[in-house]
Amino acid sequence: MNNLLNPDNKVMQFITKVADSVFLNLLWLIFSLPIVTIGASTTALFTVTERMVRNEEGNLWKGFYQAFRSNLKSATKTWLILLLLGAALIGDTWICWHMRYENPFWTVLTAVLFVADAAYLIILMYVFPLSARFENTSFQMIKNAFMIGMRYLVCTALQAGIYFLMLLCAVRFFTPILMFGEGLCALLSSYVLNGILLRLEENVRSSAEETAV
């Protein structure tokens, strides 16, 4: 029992990080309130949770705020692009869903839009974790998010499962779990993505060294 309660024990460290995710979720909510800053807030959240996975988090508030400020412009641009794209997809999907029995064209178009919706969700799951670790243009970041999400489908499925279970528990079983909300989802997703992000960092570093030579 003493070993289990030891702060250096990996189980206790994970429990501490889960508790910290409540504070991070509160920060994420506050900094997301203007709506247009959701991208920067989510990028800042993943910046901190990715550091937590590597045991490099330091001061949570300071890390979050610094990441928010440094990513405000680029992440907001990416978010606004995705917001407009998402609104268009939702509107088109809603229309086609209600017209799917009119003729085969609408049925096929509805199916195509569902595929597009799935691709959009994949981008949402990857674009902000990538933005927290790498620098690139908004369109290139969106493209990379989709390509990486399709390449690592198991990790994509695990992330989707994390968000689905959080939503299911909040709606059907235990609404107060929302106090963990995005903070816990980001932490768990960061564990899932850690190996992929490290591999991508190594590839970027190798490419940079080859270019320098």
Query: Coil, strand, or helix at residue 90?
Result: helix
Token pair recorded at residue 170: 């909040």
C-alpha 84/C-alpha 51 separation (Å) is 30
Contact 127, 145 (CB under 8 A): yes
Q: Can you give the pLDDT at residue 170?
A: 83
What are the strands, taking DSSP E only, across the chain? none
The pLDDT assigned to 171 comes to 83
Q: What is the pLDDT of residue 180?
A: 82
Model confidence pLDDT, tens digit, residues 18-58 = 999 999 999 999 999 888 999 999 999 999 999 999 988 88
Do the beta carbons of residue 45 and residue 64 sit within 8 Å? yes
Mean pLDDT of the chain: 89
By CB atoms closer than 10 A (0-12, 13-18, 19+), residue 92 is middle
Residue 179: pLDDT band (50, 70, 90) is: confident
Average pLDDT over residues 192-207: 88
Over the stretch 79-98, which tens digit does the pLDDT of each residue have?
A: 999 999 999 999 989 988 88
Which pLDDT score, from 0 to 100, does residue 105 have? 83
Q: What is the mean pLDDT of residues 146-169?
A: 94
Residue-level pLDDT at 212: 62
